[in-house]
Amino acid sequence: MNMGVNLCGVELKNPVIAASGTFGFGREYDEFYDVGSLGGISVKGLTRLPRLGNPPHRITETPSGVLNSVGLQNPGVEAFIEKDLPWLLEKGAVVVANAAGSTEDDYCYMAERLSKTGIHILEMNISCPNVKEGGVAFGTRPESVYHITKAVRAHCAKPLMVKLSPNVADIAEVARAAQEGGADAISLINTLTGMAVDVRTRRPVLANVVGGLSGPAVRPVALRMCYQAAEAVSIPVVGMGGIETGEDAAAFLLVGCTAVQVGTANLHNPYACPEVVRGLEAVCAQQGVQDVRELIGALRLD
Amino acid sequence: MKRLTAKVLSCAPLNAEMGLLTLALPAGAEAAVPGQFAHIAVPGDRAHLLRRPISLYSVHDGILELGIAAKGEGTRRILQAKPGEEIDLLYPLGRGFDKGAMRRIAFVGGGIGVAPLRFAMERFADAQCRAVFGFRSRDLLYAVEECEKTGASVTVCTDDGSAGFHGLVTGPLEEMLRRGEVDGVMACGPTPMLRAVQALALRCGVPAQLSLEEHMGCGLGACLTCNCKVKAKDGEFGYKRVCADGPVFPAEEVVFG
């Protein structure tokens, strides 16, 4: 059975990528299994300079979901290039470098800097809901998505994947804007903005007051948005949002995604990614599918 | 192997708010150090996604005991486990207490923070151990007799005076430190207590180790959600991961507030 897919020119061993922010740089999970066996690893969101992130609390549980506001804590792009990237490449991992910034100049710099390294795909994060400047501010209006994608495109020698926010009125329009700006692929959804309140103390649970909701709670919304985005563009779509099993992943492929990312599931199950790979293989076997690519966009609407 | 399936041997009340979950560790479970924790999946449903970090109450002869406070729906479900049921846990995680060269240790605990100290006193019984435990009231006492059995002297304090001294743990601790009776402090409890222990220990020049608590995600050091504030170079501050860099930190490193 073939599980490999081609994502904008990059061969993935299978369509399952670990999602940014839930997987660090892969080292913690490599204690449990060979992270090089995954389709890819989208690393912790990187910025030009090291970032401290938000004060605690940064996480809380909601029904079938998780609300977080880490605020892009990361050691900075140079530390990643020096310490973590060589290790990931040695593992044979397809490295998706998730990059964020506060200004257009930051994003262009990140694209240029990371293009000079061995990363495979640049995932431009214009959808982080947990930082004051930049992040999602670039990702909510189609005009600004087009503008920043076009600007970064000129500085990016790697396949450029734009990670979209679900906190928009019309996801199809935003997806088209990324494509028109020159994106090679889009990934979605980033978290849905949410909030939790401790009634006893009358305070927000998260120090940042609001955070991003992920996990199975958002899966139907994510699936719908991936369906609409895949209908709207001709570039590959990488789907995510609450995927925990092979069946979940198959649903995202059926609505038109070329690959999927698994995020929140890593937080409670260190084996979540390889289990999704095996589960997807099982779905293919049950359906007599010889090549996982047969599932992509095979949704029946008749 | 850090992800284990452990069989429930029993689950019984520990005090008015806590239960004691006793598990049979499977063969191949790694040895644990006091202060480390188990990251427990909520059994029975898929709505409670995150694991619950629970400190180790005792580990002996392949048996793991966990003192768990029923704080919310997730911990209540864990405490409903019946003998023979299986619990999914990541174990052991984090960095625990380090006895180092300490020969006379003061253990300072408050409420559920007493639980990991019970394991530490069991393991460090070759040192001269003295404990000061604070509880809100008499019906919340636990672990006192077990700790006394390790040969330690235990001073009980309650907020309402219904048992032991009427007052805070810092009173008896301060006396011990002033008299030079201990050369190390290990503490776990609510933040105001830890802040007071930190201040006392630093003032008296006695090394202290504080076990912190924070909302937690993966428990492995990857997701960066359980951060705590620590001192960094040049008077700046930084964050460390409670799950992987802690939960036990040197007192001089921790910044409260």
Range scoring the smallest mean pLDDT among A38-42, A130-134, A180-184, B65-69: A130-134
Task: Kindly tell me if the per-residue pLDDT of A269 is higher than 90.
Answer: yes
Q: Among partner residues B50, B224, B227, which is closest to A66 by beta-carbon distance?
A: B50
> Distance between CA atoms of A216 and A245, rounded to whole angstroms?
11
User: CB of A70 within 8 Å of any CB in chain B?
Assistant: yes
- Split at pLDDT 50, 70, 90, the class of A111 is very high
Chain A residues lying within 8 Å of B217, measured CB to CB: 22, 59, 66, 68, 267
Can you give the pLDDT at residue B249? 98
CATH class of the A5-53+70-191+214-295 domain in this structure: alpha beta
Token pair of A211 as six digits:
């955070």
Q: What is the DSSP string of A84-105?
A: IHHHHHHTTPPEEEEE--SSHH
- Inter-chain CB proximity B49 and A29 less than 8 Å: no
- Split at pLDDT 50, 70, 90, the class of B44 is confident
The torsion defined by the Cα of B146, B152, B157 and B161, in degrees rounded to 10, comes to: 70
* Segment B36-57 mean pLDDT: 94
Can you give the pLDDT at residue A131? 65
pLDDT per position as a tens digit, B63-113: 999 999 998 999 999 999 999 999 999 999 999 999 999 999 999 999 999
Q: What pTM did the predictor assign?
A: 0.95
Can you give the pLDDT at residue B256? 94
> Distance between CA atoms of B200 and A190, rounded to whole angstroms?
46
Its ipTM equals 0.94
Residue A218 Cα to chain centre, angstroms: 14
- Cβ burial of B14 (10 Å; 0-12, 13-18, 19+) is buried
Average pLDDT, chain A: 96
Which residues fall within 8 angstroms of residue A225, CB to CB, at 6 or more apart?
A166, A171, A188, A189, A241
Task: Kindly tell me if the per-residue pLDDT of B46 is higher than 90.
Answer: no
Token pair of A155 as six digits:
């500085």
In degrees, rounded to 5, the angle at the alpha carbon of residue A211 between the alpha carbons of residues A210 and A213 is: 130
Segment B152-157 long-range contacts (CB within 8 Å, at least 24 positions apart): B152/B107, B152/B121, B152/B125, B153/B129, B154/B130, B155/B130, B155/B131, B157/B132, B157/B133
Residue B224 · residue B243 · CB < 8 Å: no
- Cβ burial of B238 (10 Å; 0-12, 13-18, 19+) is middle
Count of helices and strands (H, E) across chain A: 10, 16
Compute chain A's Rg from CA coordinates. 18
Can you give the pLDDT at residue A135? 64
CA diameter of chain B: 54
- Inter-chain CB proximity B223 and A32 less than 8 Å: no
Can you give the pLDDT at residue A127? 80
**Could you give the residue numbers annotated as active site of A?**
128
Q: Give kind and range of the element (H or E) at residue B21.
A: strand B18-24
Chain A residues lying within 8 Å of B90, measured CB to CB: 270
User: Which single residue is written with the structure tokens 């644990």?
Assistant: B32
* Segment B27-38 mean pLDDT: 95
Task: Kindly tell me if the per-residue pLDDT of A204 is higher than 70.
Answer: yes
Task: Kindly tell me if the per-residue pLDDT of B1 is higher than 80.
Answer: no
- Inter-chain CB proximity B228 and A56 less than 8 Å: yes
* Segment A33-59 mean pLDDT: 97
Q: Among partner residues A24, A58, A70, which is closest to B221 by beta-carbon distance?
A: A24
Which residue ranges form the domains of chain B, and what is each CATH number? 3-93 (2.40.30.10), 104-211 (3.40.50.80)
> Distance between CA atoms of A255 and A246, rounded to whole angstroms?
15
Q: Among partner residues A44, A61, A70, which is closest to B48 by beta-carbon distance?
A: A61
Can you give the pLDDT at residue A105? 94
Residue A87 · residue A32 · CB < 8 Å: no
Q: Which amino acid is at A115?
A: S
The shortest C-alpha distance from B28 to chain A (Å) reads 15
> Distance between CA atoms of A242 and A264, rounded to whole angstroms?
7
Task: Kindly tell me if the per-residue pLDDT of A162 is higher than 70.
Answer: yes
Q: Which amino acid is at A245?
A: T
User: CB of A52 within 8 Å of any CB in chain B?
Assistant: yes
Query: Other CB atoms closer than 10 Å to residue B110's CB: what's the count?
Result: 26
> Distance between CA atoms of A249 and A246, rounded to whole angstroms?
5
Chain B residues lying within 8 Å of A215, measured CB to CB: 49
Compute chain B's Rg from CA coordinates. 18
Residue A219 to residues A61, A239, A267, B112, B144: CA-CA distances in angstroms?
Answer: 16, 10, 16, 36, 48
pLDDT per position as a tens digit, B123-146: 999 999 999 999 999 999 999 999
Q: Quote the percentage of chain A above a pLDDT of 70.
A: 97
User: CB of B179 within 8 Å of any CB in chain A?
Assistant: no
Domain boundaries, given as residue ranges, for chain A: 5-53+70-191+214-295
Q: Burial code of A17-38, b = ≥16 C-beta within 10 A, e = fewer?
A: bbbbbbbbbbbbbbebeebbeb
Can you give the pLDDT at residue B247? 98
Query: Other CB atoms closer than 10 Å to residue B205's CB: what's the count?
Result: 7
Query: Other CB atoms closer than 10 Å to residue A109's CB: what's the count?
Result: 17
Residues 72-111 of B with CB under 8 A from A: 74, 90
The shortest C-alpha distance from A57 to chain B (Å) reads 6
pLDDT per position as a tens digit, B170-193: 999 999 999 999 999 999 999 999
- Inter-chain CB proximity A266 and B222 less than 8 Å: yes
Q: What is the DSSP string of B132-145?
A: EEEESSGGG--SHH
- Inter-chain CB proximity A53 and B224 less than 8 Å: yes
Can you give the pLDDT at residue A130? 65
